[in-house]
Amino acid sequence: MLTTNSTGLIWCEDSSSKETGERKQLRNEIQLQQFSNNLTHEKDQLQATITILAQEKDRLQTQNNNLTQEKDQLQATMTNLTQHQEKHQITGFLSLQYSWTLMKMACHRSVSAYMDQGAHLVIIYSKEEQEFIITQLGSNRAWTGLSDVETEGVWKWVDGKVLDKSG
């Protein structure tokens, strides 16, 4: 007669004769060996899973570190932009963009400071633009790109054009 136990082991049992002690011991050893093999296989699977999870943890930790570093850089950039914005007011008129600084400096220093930033002093092209600038400045004073530094009484914009007093 064939018999199966809880581990799936199948063995032949002779019901007509009594099982001898040796035979019983052999059956127990076979069952024990199968149980041991099953445990070893399960342990190997668990160790493989642990290895995969450890690699995933390391990958996620690296990703977290990179994101934290990127966040810190973005926060530093945001702080710099906020500080810059506190020093400068940026507004627009038509397609032009203006930056007003609260720093006080001599005219020649303001020209070089703005040029270092890729900007220049304002050149006013129309009465509407002049009114816009006056409205933006309010009671504050500001340098424009107009001077008579080359010839006294001959007013020129920083781009070299002479001031048109007619419009």
Token readout for 124 is 């006013």
Residue 22 confidence (pLDDT) above 60 = yes
Per-residue pLDDT band for 91 (boundaries 50, 70, 90) equals low
pLDDT at 110 exceeding the cut of 60: yes
Q: What is the mean pLDDT of the chain?
A: 76
Instruction: Give the mean pLDDT of 105-122.
Output: 66
DSSP 8-state secondary structure symbol assigned to residue 157: E
User: What is the distance between the alpha carbons of residues 115 and 121, in angstroms, rounded to a whole number?
Assistant: 9
pLDDT over 70 (residue 33): yes
- State how far the alpha carbon of 10 is from the alpha carbons of 21, 34, 86, 110, in Å: 19, 11, 84, 96
Query: How many Cβ atoms from other residues are within 10 Å of residue 157's Cβ?
Result: 19
Chain centroid to CA 159: how far? 41
Q: Residue 164 phi/psi, 5° resolution?
A: -95, 110
Question: Of the ranges 27-41, 68-82, 149-163, which is most confident?
Answer: 27-41
Count the helix, strand and coil residues of the chain and give each as a percent rounded to the nearest 5: 55, 15, 35
